Amino acid sequence: ARAVVIGMAMSAGGCATLEQLRALVRAPVFEEAEGQPAEIRLLGPGPGRPLGGAAVRLWTKVTNPNAFGLTLGTLAGTLFLDGTRAAAADFPLGLPLAAGQTQEIPIDLSISFSDLPALAETLRRTARSENVPYTLDGTIGVDAGRLGQPVFGPMTLVRGDLRVR
């Protein structure tokens, strides 16, 4: 499939540049995984969390929309809870995705309460077992072999509601 894509690119303009080939790579699509809601779990004080914190797990469904396989290499972004910045994300993933493949993956983040006084009302809502809307914005990098290693974004990767676990 990769040879067909490269061949089409080259025949379209005679000689394709690396930038033209990279333009053929589409960003993987992230969605909230069905039946696996995002969770927030409150944590007591501990190393690196003198006031306690929270562990957030976002279950995502990642789809490769391309006609060729690629590797989802990196994810860097920011988690917002109810519109307030809550945590940074920076992961090397190394997740191979075949052409058209969809895979569910967890994204785990941690929040220290000492760093986030702006989240006080959001944390009270989670303590009352209310759903809290979240958004994960960021960039994703892929390795598409001979088509390069493009980075996509910034963009909203996934959004949904957290529930207390």
What is d(CA 39, CA 45) in angstroms, rounded to the nearest whole number?
Answer: 19
Residue whose C-alpha is closest to residue 141's, from 123, 157, 120, 161: 157
DSSP 45: S
18: three-class secondary structure by DSSP: helix
- Per-residue model confidence (pLDDT) at position 125: 67
Per-residue pLDDT tens digits for 30-52: 999 999 989 888 888 887 778 78
What is d(CA 71, CA 98) in angstroms, rounded to the nearest whole number?
Answer: 8
Where do we find the tokens 């519109």? 83
> Residues 6 or more apart from 19 whose CB is under 8 A from it?
none
DSSP 146: G
Per-residue pLDDT tens digits for 51-69: 788 889 999 999 999 999 9
- Between 165 and 1, residue with greater pLDDT: 165
What is d(CA 107, CA 88) in angstroms, rounded to the nearest whole number?
Answer: 12
- Per-residue model confidence (pLDDT) at position 4: 47
Query: What average pLDDT does this structure show over 70-87?
Result: 92
